[in-house]
Amino acid sequence: MTPRAEYPRPHFDRSHTWSSLNGAWDFRADTDPDWNRTITVPFAWETPASGIEAHWLPVAWYRRSFTVPAAWRGQRVVLQFGAVHHEATVWVNDVEVATHRGGYTPFEADVTDALREGSQEVVVRVAAPLDKRDIAHGKQRSVPRDDFDGVCFTPSSGIWQSVWLEARPATYLAGLKLRPSEGLDAIEVEARVAGPAAARATLRLALRGTDTAVELPPAETDPHAGTAAGAGAGSEAVPAGAERVVRATIPVAAPRLWSPEDPHLYHVDAVLTSADGTDAVAGYTGLRRIEVIGEDLYLNGRRLFVRGVLDQGYWPRTGITPPDDAALRHDLELAARAGYNLVRKHLKLEDPRFVHHADTLGLLVWAEPAATGRFSEESVTAFEEQIAPMVERDGNSPAIVIWGLYNEEWGLDWDIPGDPAKQRAVARAYDVLKALDPARPAVDNSGWTHVKTDLLDWHYYDESAAAWGRAVAALLDGSQDDFPVKLGPDFVVRKKLAGAPGQPLRGLPNLNSEYGTGFTSVERGWQLRWQTQELRRHDRLAGYVYTELYDIEHEFAGLLDFERRAKDLAGVDPADVNATTTLVFDVVPVAPGRDLLSESRVVSVPVRVSHHGAEPVSGRLRTAWTPVFGATPASLTAPAADPAAGPDGEGPWIEAKPFLLSAAAEVRAELPEGWTSGRLHVALISDGAVVARSAVDVDTHTGFVIGDNR
């Protein structure tokens, strides 16, 4: 069976005329005299799935034969590569057809003139430097080491995304940019037409499933005409043989906006007709607007609170390549099941089908390119070379609502404030990105020392729940503009939010875009609950991104293990922690299993509500006891129709307005007879339904506690 057999490029779909080249290829290291091994494409040669498992191999070769379908006769045959790490040279029948540098960006080669009768042969030479510091490599390990080697993983070298053939006429569609109009009632189209007859080609753009279509005449006839009612269309004058840019507006009757609740997509079918024949490409987008208004994010005019999780895009036996298409969708579904509305795909231009599944499922995406490893002219160039292909490939996606760029000064030697050249590199990357896509917010250097950004985000890790709460409060009330970062076992620095004099510290959305600590799964569940609660305490915050969804190799920071199996989080359900409506306790927790120390069996806990829905919420607080680390009892998961029913009857009334932390309501409860400790579960019941849940562990043994962080 062909691995990754699905069509690889859903945002620029020519799947009516394609042929996969995934599967078995001949393989040899550069030092091997013969083609003595077989590799399975598209899995990196370090992975078990490839059949090779070769490590620290700097150069290798691929070879396979293929035939061109007879139905393609008279068409141009194009060889497509999704991604090859890091530098590829391609020959077809001993004719060099392409070279490409950059391990995360796609490339193609028109191989028509190299074809012969019968069987064809393609050979690919791949160089994957061991020293990756000056190239874009994300979380792949380097020799010599990067500054951030401790959080890096096994390299993924060679062909790691799909390879395929397509057929198209000599004059063809080279790009199809689709964006929602300002009024969210039309689709703005920018099509790129290439080939010898580009100026004389006619383009028809049709909104699938409707009668709406736009006809674009040849540029030589009328470069500014549009033939659809209510539509604008035009194309730039173009010299013979050059690429032509065609722009049009497709009106949408009764527009249906894309949102996480209703991820509706509009498909556009583009048909180009010229003397060279007909080319057809399909694309899609959604009608949605993401915008920054003051310190808040808005999606389609409604305030958006980001509940995000970090996803690094690694799998146990396949490295940075998903084992199959379903694995990409499954990871998004797992994130949604845990209560998250956004996934931050970290330091990796992921397989384009990941973005496609996010579009269809309604998961928001924070997308960003791969990191380099040190500051140099070469590394800055390599980083910037990813930006335009990233926007070109994934810019149609309605799911992508944030673009990221640098991360924590990686590739900048951890020294933006001390070097104006590094500040200029960050600002230039931001300017390049915003020139290509001004409609999405962009983060210049996620987590630390911003230079030029639309979102003021910060990464803060702290094992102490008390210190965590104090630092978060200080950052959000403006009394503190820096925070501690542990760069080594005995090396702690304070990172400022602003890394250049011109970067404002107020008036932008504020996000914690990395957090989460704990050595054991129990500790991580505890910190997830309490640290997220503290973030929800502050109305000024625009969102958070938890680190991370699943474990990877030696990194055990996930809510799930590397195989995507659930871990023991000591009864904490991430879906409750990340719900639209959550409970916030006015408690400074001591340690896992001993959140609240009490000298008596009767406890009083102030409870608040953080609510990010469109309408106010109100109801009564109900309680129930279990042993410490016990799961939520059935009485608080599926309440009876009578909201007063339950072990402890009816509790205090509480209400909350959207995006405003409620006043506190006092919950009083007594440990069951004979108990010296227990977990007090609290649920908010509204109209007979549970809308929020949390818990606090109570211990009447008030002596010294190892790990007491009060």
Instruction: Please tell me the predicted confidence (pLDDT) of residue 702.
Output: 67
How large is the average pLDDT for residues 405-414? 96
What pTM does this model have? 0.95
How large is the average pLDDT for residues 570-589? 97
* CA distance linking residue 461 with residue 513, whole number of Å: 11
Domain membership of residue 564 (yes or no) is: yes
How large is the average pLDDT for residues 502-529? 93
Instruction: Please tell me the predicted confidence (pLDDT) of residue 194.
Output: 97
Q: What is the CATH number of the domain that holds 232?
A: 2.60.40.10
- 364 versus 634: the higher-pLDDT residue is 364
Condensed to tens digits (0 to 9), the pLDDT of residues 472-497 reads 999 999 899 999 998 878 888 999 99
* CA distance linking residue 695 with residue 630, whole number of Å: 10
Instruction: Please tell me the predicted confidence (pLDDT) of residue 648.
Output: 45
Domain membership of residue 472 (yes or no) is: yes
**Overall domain count for the chain:** 4
Is residue 233's pLDDT more than 70? no
Instruction: Please tell me the predicted confidence (pLDDT) of residue 682.
Output: 96
| Closest C-alpha to 663, from 598, 610, 599 | 610
Sheet strands side by side (includes 442-446): 442-446, 400-407, 364-367, 342-345, 306-311, 541-546, 510-514, 456-459
Alpha-carbon torsion (334, 460, 134, 128), positive or negative: negative
Residue 92 in 3-state DSSP?
strand
| Closest C-alpha to 86, from 116, 26, 44, 117 | 44
Residue 559 in 3-state DSSP?
coil
- 645 versus 466: the higher-pLDDT residue is 466
pLDDT range class, residue 632, cuts 50, 70, 90: confident
pLDDT range class, residue 667, cuts 50, 70, 90: very high
* CA distance linking residue 8 with residue 27, whole number of Å: 23
Indicate if 368 and 496 belong to the same structural domain: yes
Indicate if 487 and 586 belong to the same structural domain: no
Listed residues 147, 168, 189: the one ending a domain: 168
Is residue 515's pLDDT more than 50? yes
Listed residues 100, 133, 168: the one ending a domain: 168
* CA distance linking residue 368 with residue 445, whole number of Å: 11
- Quote the percentage of the chain above a pLDDT of 90: 88
Instruction: Please tell me the predicted confidence (pLDDT) of residue 487.
Output: 82
Indicate if 547 and 458 belong to the same structural domain: yes
- Number of Cβ atoms within 10 Å of the Cβ of 210: 12
Indicate if 331 and 274 belong to the same structural domain: no
Indicate if 607 and 682 belong to the same structural domain: yes
Mark 450-471 as b/e (b = at least 16 C-beta within 10 Å): bbbbbbbbbbbbbeebbebbeb
pLDDT range class, residue 706, cuts 50, 70, 90: very low
Q: Which two tokens stand for residue 305?
A: 């609170």
Domain membership of residue 606 (yes or no) is: yes
Domain span at residue 602? 582-699
* CA distance linking residue 681 with residue 66, whole number of Å: 63
Mean confidence (pLDDT) of the chain: 93
Indicate if 565 and 596 belong to the same structural domain: no
Indicate if 416 and 322 belong to the same structural domain: yes
Alpha-carbon torsion (491, 492, 498, 500), positive or negative: negative
Task: Note whether 232 and 194 are within 8 A (CB).
Answer: no
Condensed to tens digits (0 to 9), the pLDDT of residues 604-618 reads 999 999 999 999 999
Q: Which of 237-246, 561-570, 626-635 is the most confident on average?
A: 561-570
Q: Which two tokens stand for residue 482?
A: 């820096």
| Closest C-alpha to 323, from 48, 657, 706 | 48
Is residue 237's pLDDT more than 50? no
How large is the average pLDDT for residues 622-640? 86
Indicate if 146 and 119 belong to the same structural domain: yes
Condensed to tens digits (0 to 9), the pLDDT of residues 135-184 reads 999 999 999 999 999 999 999 999 999 999 999 999 999 999 999 999 99
Is residue 542's pLDDT more than 60? yes
Indicate if 519 and 498 belong to the same structural domain: yes
Indicate if 538 and 686 belong to the same structural domain: no
Condensed to tens digits (0 to 9), the pLDDT of residues 258-283 reads 999 999 999 999 999 999 999 999 99
Indicate if 159 and 182 belong to the same structural domain: no
Q: What is the CATH number of the domain that holds 100?
A: 2.60.120.260
Is residue 228's pLDDT more than 50? no
Is residue 640's pLDDT more than 90? no
